[in-house]
């Protein structure tokens, strides 16, 4: 039996990682076989790519940045996500294909069709069963990130605004897969909404 693939998306500081951990704990307590993972940098080679992507302080072209995120994705999908799904596990993944559309497509201004094509190559066509998009205004999200910012977080408010807009466009285009949650709500309120959406999957 195939498992489930659920991705958590949103701008930096949107609270998605907290919600992923809460859902994972809830599902484990219920006896489900769950793994939590992330892009970029789940393990091994991916961790090295993450280090470059978030901390390299020299010039990085937008195309190069995309290919590095996509390389991490290909490795992650082939070595972690697909095997877990085929073993019937529930895979909860912090960021995936929509991050590249939002950040490199809408944020950096790369061609959206090409990003979709490359995403498809990296995943071999696998798509999440469900994507939870945690939406919050850019000012709030940047306040939450604070002053200690990595290479992507320090790309500026205008960039973050474009990323947020990109995510909302994606949600409009794929309302069945991508569910938008209002990240200004409390952690517990959001967790209850996540559980309700999860229950609706079955």
Residues of the shown chain interacting with ligand TMP in the complex, contacts defined by CB under 6 A: 12, 38-40, 69, 95, 99-100, 103-104, 152-153
> 96, 7 in Cβ contact below 8 A?
yes
Q: Which of 143, 192 has the CB closer to ligand TMP?
A: 143
Q: Rounded distance, CA 202 to CA 199, Å? A: 6
Show the tokens assigned to 18: 């907290």
Q: Which of 154, 192 has the CB closer to ligand TMP?
A: 154
Q: Which of 39, 135 has the CB closer to ligand TMP?
A: 39
Show the tokens assigned to 24: 């994972």
Nearest approach, Cβ of residue 175 and ligand TMP (Å)? 22
Nearest approach, Cβ of residue 50 and ligand TMP (Å)? 7
140-150: burial string, b at 16+ Cβ within 10 Å, e else: ebbeebeeeee
Nearest approach, Cβ of residue 91 and ligand TMP (Å)? 15
Nearest approach, Cβ of residue 7 and ligand TMP (Å)? 10
Q: Which of 69, 198 has the CB closer to ligand TMP?
A: 69
Q: Rounded distance, CA 16 to CA 57, Å? A: 26
Q: Rounded distance, CA 137 to CA 11, Å? A: 9
């Amino acid at each position: 039996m195939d498992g489930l693939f659920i991705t958590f998306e949103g701008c930096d500081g949107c609270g998605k990682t907290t919600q992923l951990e809460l859902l994972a704990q809830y599902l484990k307590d219920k006896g489900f076989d769950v793994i939590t993972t992330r892009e970029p940098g789940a393990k091994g080679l991916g961790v090295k790519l993450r280090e470059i992507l978030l901390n390299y302080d020299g010039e990085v072209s937008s195309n190069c940045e995309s290919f590095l995120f996509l390389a991490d994705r290909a490795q992650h999908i082939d070595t972690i996500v697909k095997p877990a799904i085929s073993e019937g596990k529930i895979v909860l993944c912090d960021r995936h294909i929509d991050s590249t559309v939002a950040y490199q497509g809408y944020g950096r201004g790369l061609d959206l069709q090409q990003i979709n094509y490359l995403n498809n190559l990296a995943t071999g066509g696998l798509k999440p069963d469900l994507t939870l998009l945690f939406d919050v205004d850019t000012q709030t999200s940047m306040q939450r990130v604070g002053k200690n910012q990595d290479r992507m977080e320090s790309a500026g408010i205008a960039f973050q605004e474009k990323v947020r807009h990109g995510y909302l466009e994606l949600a409009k285009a794929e309302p069945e897969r991508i569910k938008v949650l209002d990240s200004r709500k409390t952690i517990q309120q959001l967790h209850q909404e996540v559980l309700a959406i999860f229950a609706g999957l079955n």
